[in-house]
């Protein structure tokens, strides 16, 4: 009887551990922050996340200097959230590849 209860407890603990790892991974992704200077690849072109005005950021194409979209107001240019980055990209179908953090 005790072995059965111990096995059940171990199985349940392993399930809880997997759930916590999944939640933690999702939480980290949702709370990932970027900063001005971060670089991305979108549709085969390299962009840099730039502060273009007070609390306004945009992605700038490194080949031709054009903006990817209109500037977006952010809470803090040194801690841009995933949601703010999505607002800056403003393109549901775009495949955004993160290259490196800004400095």
pTM to 2 decimal places: 0.66
DSSP 8-state assignment for residue 67: B
How confident is the model over 12-42, as pLDDT tens digits? 888 888 887 776 655 555 567 899 999 999 9
Average pLDDT over residues 52-69: 95
Cβ neighbours, 10 Å, residue 96: 16
Domains of the chain, by residue range, sit at 1-31, 33-100
Question: What pLDDT is attached to residue 44?
Answer: 92
Residue 94 pLDDT > 70, yes or no?
A: yes
């Amino acid at each position: 009887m005790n072995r059965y209860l111990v096995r059940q407890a171990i199985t349940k603990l392993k399930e809880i551990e997997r759930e916590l790892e999944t939640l933690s991974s999702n939480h980290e992704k949702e709370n990932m922050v970027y900063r001005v200077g971060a670089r991305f690849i979108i549709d085969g072109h390299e962009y840099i996340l730039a502060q273009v005005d007070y609390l306004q950021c945009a992605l700038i194409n490194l080949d031709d200097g054009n903006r990817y979209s209109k500037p977006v107001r952010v809470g803090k240019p040194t801690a841009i959230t995933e949601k703010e980055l999505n607002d800056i990209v403003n393109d549901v179908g775009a495949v955004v590849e993160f290259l490196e953090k800004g400095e």
